[in-house]
Every structure is written in C-alpha cells, then in structure tokens.
Amino acid sequence: MLLYQATSKTGQNIVDEAEALLKDSVNGIWSEAEMLQALKQSVRKLYPDIFTPKVDTSLSTDGTSFSFTIPATLDLIMGVQIRADSQSQYESIRYSTEWDGSNNKLNLYDKYQSGLSIKLLGGTRLTVPDALGTTLDIPTDAEDLIITAIKMECMEMLLLDKGKLNQFAAREQGVTEVDVINMIDMLKRDYTRRKDEVATMLISLMTRI
C-alpha cells in the first residue's frame, strides 16, 4: 500500500527544471547522458533518509515462532503493530523492548498467542530511473530536493573536468574553481536542510498510521 503523494513528473521534467536553473537547457556544458547520471545519483543518495512509505500486513503470529523473515515488500521497518482480530484496532509495540529488526528478521520478544495480525510500518528504497522518460518514484515534497541534488552533481563534475570548468567560467564571466566549491557548499547546506524537512515529514506520516 502506498501511503504518500508521489510525483507525477518524469526524470526529464525534473532535469529540465535543473537545467533551467543551471542555464544549460541546450546541454552546452552537461550532456543529456550526464544529466541522467546526475539524476540517478541524486535518487540513490536520498535513501535511507527519504524512502517510499509502505505497510505490510502479510504476517501473523502462530504461537510457537516469534522470529519472522521481513517481507520482500519492505527495505526498512520503523514500527510494528499487532491486533487480535479484524474487529480490533492495531496497537503499537515498543522497539527494543518488544521487537527488533536485524539481519532481515523481525523478532518479537513477547510470546504472543496464535492468530494475531502483524502490521509492519516501513518503506522501500526509491526506484532509480533507467531513462529520463521514467516517472520518478519520489514524494512530491522531494522534487525540489532532487533538483538541488542534481545541481550539486553537475557542479562537482566541473571540478573533475577542466574543460567543463573553463566553459562554465567563460559563461559566468571568470568564475573560478574556488567559486564553484563555494557554490557546492551552499547547495549542500540547502540540500541538508531540505532533506531533514522531508525526512521528518515522512516519519510523521508513519507515526499517524
């Protein structure tokens, strides 16, 4: 079950916005292939702070075993709830004192009776797009975060490629390598602040389920 508002934008839509901010809509400095690579890296680096929130209710107690393999539908677990039957409310149990999750296992510390339904609150890694035309697997609230990350990736490419740096410097009227480093530092501060905001929003979402 998907629990948040996912973006309807494709990788191309996001890259177009990043290119507009970089003033490189015609790929004069960064090629389309490089922009796709920047997008992929940006999505990868969001996890585990940013994830796709999901729940799983496929597990139930059997009264004898209290260790379960975490379902493949989840990459992380943030909470566990248990209910006695379909007429009851799920009730949260406490991490570390009543459950833990490690080595792909969910371990329950109390010896629950058979037939109780287990709800896992967690999430999955964001899907890394294979092509720019792919609709992105990110929250709508993370669109600006991805754009900032792409800009950082592109700026870091300048530091690795003197030809690109010279092109950029000529276009920006004498910008130096030090200026680019300062731009990256500023983007990193904005990125960290915004990522913390989105991560907090996702955690708040999970606690309200």
Contacts 24+ apart (CB under 8 A), 109-115: 109/66, 110/66, 111/63, 111/66, 112/61, 112/63, 112/66, 112/82, 113/61, 113/63, 114/61, 114/62, 114/63, 114/64, 115/60, 115/61, 115/62, 115/63, 115/84, 115/85
Check whether 35 has a pLDDT greater than 70. yes
Tell me the C-alpha distance between 204 and 209, whole Å: 9
Check whether 156 has a pLDDT greater than 70. yes
| pLDDT (tens digit per residue) in 165-194 | 999 999 999 899 999 999 999 999 999 999
* Per-chain mean pLDDT for the chain: 93
* Beta pairing partners, 139: 6
DSSP letter (8 states) at residue 175? -
Check whether 69 has a pLDDT greater than 90. yes
